[in-house]
Chain A
Amino acid sequence: MAYPPAAHSSPPRQPSVKVILAAADVSRVVDRIAHQILEKTQGAADTVLLGIPTRGVPLAKRLAARISTFEDVTVPVGVLDITLYRDDLRRHATRAVGPTDLPPGGIDGKRVVLVDDVLFSGRTVRAALDALSDVGRPASVQLAVLVDRGHRQLPIRADYVGKNIPTALAENVKVTLAETDGTDEVRLFGGAHS
Chain B
Amino acid sequence: MIRHLLSGADLDADTATLVLDTAAEMATVAGREVKKLPALRGRTVVNLFYEDSTRTRISFEAAAKRLSADVINFSAKGSSVAKGESLKDTALTLQAMGADAVVVRHPASGAPHRLADWVDGSVVNAGDGTHEHPTQALLDAYTMRSRLGRLAGLHVAIVGDVLHSRVARSNVLLLSTLGAKVTLVGPPTLIPRDISPALAPGTDVSYDLDTVLPGVDVVMMLRVQRERMSDSYFPSAREYARRYGLDGPRMRRLPEHAIVMHPGPMNRGMEITPEVADSSRSTIVEQVANGVSVRMAVLYLLLGGNNR
Contact = CB atoms under 8 A, between A and B. Distances in A.
A in complex with B: yes
A58 to B, nearest CB: 20
Interface stretch (B33-41, B50-58, B204-212): B33-41
Contacts of A13: none
A89 interface: yes
Contacts of A98: 25
Nearest to A97: B25
B32 A89 contact: no
A94 B1 contact: yes
B306 A95 contact: no
Nearest to B39: A84
Interface string A63-101: 000000000000000000100110001111111111110
Contact of A96 (B18, B37, B38): B18
Interface in B1-55: 1, 18, 21-22, 25-26, 28, 32-34, 36-39
A159 B304 CA distance: 32
A45 interface: no
A189 B30 CA distance: 43
State which size class the interface on B falls in: 20 to 34
B1 A93 contact: yes
Interface in B129-148: none
Nearest to B42: A90
Contact of A100 (B25, B34, B38, B300): B25
Given A84-B37, A84-B38, A84-B39, A89 B305 contact: yes
Given A94-B305, A134-B32, A89 B25 contact: no
A98 B26 CA distance: 10
A89 B39 contact: yes
B79 to A, nearest CB: 31
A98 B21 CA distance: 9
Nearest to B301: A94
Given A81-B25, A99-B25, A134-B34, A93 B39 contact: no
Contacts of A133: 34
Contacts, number: 53
Interface string A37-64: 0000000000000000000000000000
Contacts of B37: 84-85, 134
B307 interface: yes
A84 B26 CA distance: 10
Contacts of A99: 25, 28
Contact of A93 (B26, B34, B300, B306): B306
Contacts of B39: 84-85, 89
Contacts of B25: 81, 97-100
Interface in A97-149: 97-100, 130, 133-136
A90 B32 contact: no
Contact of A91 (B28, B302, B306): B306
A96 B28 contact: no
A84 B36 CA distance: 10
Contacts of A81: 25
Contacts of A89: 39, 304-305
A146 B301 CA distance: 32
B32 to A, nearest CB: 6
Nearest to A95: B305
A94 B38 contact: no
A90 to B, nearest CB: 5
A94 to B, nearest CB: 3
Interface string B238-263: 00000000000000000000000000
Nearest to B304: A94
A100 B28 contact: yes
A92 B306 contact: yes
Nearest to B68: A84
Contacts of A136: 33
B32 A97 contact: no
A93 B307 contact: yes
7 contacts: A84-B38, A92-B305, A93-B1, A95-B304, A95-B305, A99-B28, A134-B37
Interface of B: 1, 18, 21-22, 25-26, 28, 32-34, 36-39, 67, 300-302, 304-307
5 cross-chain pairs, A with B, having the tightest CB-CB distances, nearest first: A94-B305, A84-B39, A134-B34, A97-B25, A94-B304
Given A94-B304, A134-B36, 18 more contacts: A81-B25, A84-B38, A84-B39, A84-B67, A84-B300, A84-B304, A85-B37, A89-B39, A94-B302, A94-B307, A96-B21, A97-B25, A97-B300, A99-B25, A99-B28, A100-B25, A135-B32, A135-B34
